[in-house]
Amino acid sequence: MLDIPLARTGAYVSFATSNDENHPASNVLDGNSSTFWVTTGLLPQSIIISFPNVVNLKKIKITIFKVQNLIIEKSMKPRAKDFDIVTEKSFKNDNHYVQESEIEFGHNFQARHLKFTISEAYDSFVGIQHILAVFG
């Protein structure tokens, strides 16, 4: 199975609660380990990734930093609305800068939009380095 940067699938960032011109939200899509999206302070912070069509996902791999709690939601609607919670994940502060996680969705998981919400953090400025997907 191939881990694919989301930019290669036609995915795009349809919403982000914060934007730093040096570290924009679109960086999470490129798969580049030297780029990232950084939040600009207050929590919660969210980013919505939209696909041109409904996709079948097996899992995602997400690389983040200084995140304590992450909520992932999905929507099947043509527009990014009416989200349902898929999972919530907590991360320990083990003093490592980068946190990595694989989130498996199981069989027949479909989404048109994925929303990632950082609800708690270990610092005021946190971020998402990249999100890779395994489609199926």
- The predicted pLDDT at position 1 comes to 53
pLDDT score at 2:
61
Task: Give the CATH number for residue 118.
Answer: 2.60.120.260
Q: Is 8 helix (H, G, I), strand (E, B) or coil?
A: helix
- pTM for the predicted model, two decimal places: 0.94
Render pLDDT for 53-84 as a digit per residue (tens, 0 to 9).
999 999 999 999 999 999 999 999 999 999 99
Could you list the residue range(s) of the whole structural domain that residue 60 is in? 4-135
Closest CA to 51 of 12, 3, 98: 12
Tally of structural domains, the chain? 1
